[in-house]
Structure 1
Amino acid sequence: MNSPSPWTPMDSLGEALHQLRMSGLFYTRSEFAAPWGLALPELPHMLMFHVINVGECWLELDGMAPQRLLPGDFALVPHGQGHRLTHTPGAECAPLFDLPREALSERYEVLRHGGDGAAAQMICGAVRFDHPAAQQLVGLLPRSIHIAAADSPHREWMPDMLRFMADEMRALRPGGETIVTRLADILVIQAIRAWIERDPAAQGGWLGALRDKQIGRAIALIHREPSRDWTLASLAEAVAMSRSAFAARFAAQVGMPAMQYLAQWRMNSALTELRERSVPVAALAERMGYQSEAAFSRAFKRHTGLSPGAARRRSA
């Protein structure tokens, strides 16, 4: 659960990206012909992405200018906001769930819609990241991220990867869904990394703190060993800072005191464990550094509003 990334020990941002592993994945291979328009519903806690293989389309989100997507482009809508895909801005849209779809597997379907005009083909997906580091990172993302093929520093290999992804979705060979999932992992992480590199909004706050040599290391230590009996003094000592300087810098960069961040991280990690594993609550309490199951349950309910048992039942 808290295993470090294979990258350098000081690469705290790399560790956060390392935790971006998808779950709740669902794909649609969409084949459109103008005139067409598709209204996608709100999907809370999900990230939706669109990869354009053939033709072009327009992505419309309320309150934002339409974005034109061309072959090889990748668009990410990180917060599950409802949006529209159209052959031209302002086109009439049919709700996604009102259209017939061909289910090819439990997580994969084909959608065909439109008239007899210009064709557009794309791969669309809805994914979720459950790891607390991933959730924290996703929460900082803008309403949409658009990676244009023409502007991508990886335009040499991106088209080949997109073609490979489209071929796997058409052929449905054994293991094809696993390959598509791994490729989608790469595309989503690359989109997030591109946003971090180019958007000034990504240079401060928690992301900025991850880049700080000492504060980033302290965050990485908390992430790796949430059950350790950390104190403000021991964290400061681990990153070679005085207690007062560490406390002030951590709070200024992260936006909360170090001990509050530790408690929050423990509860988020515990929530992920309850969702993904059948670990007993008493064992989880010990793993998170609590002396008793009752103390852990009280802290968990303060943080989440639910008892550990209720959180597990709701997830199921």
Structure 2
Amino acid sequence: MDVLSDVLRNVRLTGAVYFDVNAREPWVAETPATSRICAQVMPAFEHAISFHIMLDGICWAQLADESEPPVKLSSGDAVIFIGGEGHFMGSVPGKRAEPNMDLYVRPSDRPLPFLLNGLGGEGKAARFVCGYLGCDARPFNPILEALPRMLRVPANQNEATTALIRMALAENEKPRAGGETILSKLSELMFLQAIRAHIDTLPAESIGWLSGLRDRHVGRALTLMHGRPGQDWTLDALAKEVGLSRSAFAERFTELMGVPPMSYLGNWRLQVAARLLEAPSMSIAQAAAQVGYESEAAFNRAFKKQVGLPPGAWRRSRANGGRLPA
């Protein structure tokens, strides 16, 4: 079981490239927090991650709250805002603008991306694409807390994907069937590559979900939990499988992951069950049993505690538009 792939699949990660922007210095563009526009740009999802990929030229990107210094992006670099925070980009660091809220709508009469020309003045040219990655935040998405708020992806970690995006964008003048889907899948690939590269840069002493993936004992436990979420796992059984004593395993897992092993397993079971419930033929009792609950009532209580509403109401909400109430 590939744990990272399993998580991305179960949280329904789905990409969309929205804007193909041609700008000239001096230019600045500000993007609102995705909490304000998620219902318009990624209507089937509770959360949206923002990303930008520089194709030509340079720019500076910064969080709107200015809590971190700006980062410089050159041709081939990308930047990802995991929490969907508001941010701004421009040819000069620190310059701000008001976001144009009219741009953030998913078109029904034409494919993405929108082509935006004429941003800025008459100086050096820059080109970049902007988009979103929709995903579930509930019941449980460990990726959203595992990555930094603003993640810069250097060009040398993204060369193949950027080249393919350039090729796909070249079809804009003569669009072909499937172009929007190609760009969608390429943005998902870019995100996966960014996570893998980030894992490789983590210090040996780092903690968190991504560090747990690469730890020999914790990573093995995660593989078992994700591979067989419905099994009647106990702390003793997991410790035996990974080759540690009960106490040593519990301590190591909790230290790295921030939660005890059985708490993590419970959270992940709810996420798997949420995906199972998307099938109309799947009853709540069947979903509960498949993820290891002996009682439908116990499953209902755990689901409501984590999500804020019982599984039946969650299913109806998803069927009626996809987004959960806040």
**Pairwise same-fold verdict (TM > 0.5):** yes
Greater shift, 19-28 or 229-238, is seen at 19-28
Separation in structure 2 between the aligned mates of residue 280 and residue 96 of structure 1, nearest angstrom: 44
1:132–1:265: 8 Å Cα contact kept in structure 2? Answer: no
Separation in structure 2 between the aligned mates of residue 13 and residue 241 of structure 1, nearest angstrom: 23
Greater shift, 246-255 or 69-78, is seen at 246-255
Q: Does 1:81 align with 2:85?
A: yes
Q: Which residue of 2 aligns with 1:34?
A: 25
Q: Which residue of 1 aligns with 2:39?
A: none
Q: Does 1:70 align with 2:74?
A: yes
Gap change, CA 1:219 and 1:115, over 3 Å in 2: closer
Alignment: residue pair count: 303
Separation in structure 1 between the aligned mates of residue 73 and residue 258 of structure 2, nearest angstrom: 36
Gap change, CA 1:27 and 1:138, over 3 Å in 2: same
1:29–1:109: 8 Å Cα contact kept in structure 2? Answer: yes
Following superposition, the deviation at residue 50 of structure 1 comes to: 0.7
Q: How far does the alpha carbon of each residue in 1:36-94 deviate from its partner, in whole angstroms, 9 at most, with x for none? A: 32211101322111111222222121222222222211111111000112232233424
Q: Does 1:114 align with 2:105?
A: no
Write the letter of the residue equivalent to 1:91.
Answer: K
Q: Which residue of 2 aligns with 1:95?
A: 99
1:196–1:202: 8 Å Cα contact kept in structure 2? Answer: no
* Structure 2 SS opposite 1:291: coil
Q: Which residue of 1 aligns with 2:235?
A: 232
> What pairs up with 1:293-312 in 2 under 5 angstroms?
293-312=296-315
2:26–2:91: 8 Å Cα contact kept in structure 1? Answer: yes
* Structure 1 SS opposite 2:252: helix
Gap change, CA 1:15 and 1:22, over 3 Å in 2: closer
Q: Which residue of 2 aligns with 1:250?
A: 253
Separation in structure 1 between the aligned mates of residue 296 and residue 182 of structure 2, nearest angstrom: 41
1:36–1:93: 8 Å Cα contact kept in structure 2? Answer: no
Q: Does 1:46 align with 2:51?
A: no
Q: Which residue of 2 aligns with 1:187?
A: 190
Gap change, CA 1:308 and 1:16, over 3 Å in 2: closer
TM (norm. structure 2) is 0.80
Q: Which residue of 2 aligns with 1:208?
A: 211
> What pairs up with 1:132-211 in 2 under 5 angstroms?
135-149=141-155, 152=156, 155=159, 157=160, 160-169=163-172, 171-200=174-203, 203-211=206-214
Q: Does 1:241 align with 2:247?
A: no
Gap change, CA 1:111 and 1:184, over 3 Å in 2: same
1:101–1:111: 8 Å Cα contact kept in structure 2? Answer: no
Q: Which residue of 2 aligns with 1:9?
A: none
Q: How far does the alpha carbon of each residue in 1:141-200 deviate from its partner, in whole angstroms, 9 at most, with x for none? A: 112111232xx2565x45533422432455431111222122212211222222222243
Write the letter of the residue equivalent to 1:254.
Answer: M
* Structure 2 SS opposite 1:138: helix
Separation in structure 1 between the aligned mates of residue 83 and residue 5 of structure 2, nearest angstrom: 22
Identity of aligned residues (%): 37
Q: Which residue of 2 aligns with 1:125?
A: 131
Aligned alpha-carbon RMSD (Å):
3.0
1:72–1:148: 8 Å Cα contact kept in structure 2? Answer: yes
Gap change, CA 1:206 and 1:314, over 3 Å in 2: same
Write the letter of the residue equivalent to 1:117.
Answer: E
Gap change, CA 1:102 and 1:143, over 3 Å in 2: closer
Structure with more contact order per residue of length (Cα contacts < 8 Å, sep ≥ 6) = 2
Q: How far does the alpha carbon of each residue in 1:239-261 deviate from its partner, in whole angstroms, 9 at most, with x for none? A: 23333332233223322222222
Q: How far does the alpha carbon of each residue in 1:106-162 deviate from its partner, in whole angstroms, 9 at most, with x for none? A: 55322334344133221111112339899312321112111232xx2565x455334
Following superposition, the deviation at residue 222 of structure 1 comes to: 0.7
Structure 1: gaps spanning 5 or more residues: 6-11
Gap change, CA 1:309 and 1:196, over 3 Å in 2: same
Following superposition, the deviation at residue 286 of structure 1 comes to: 1.5
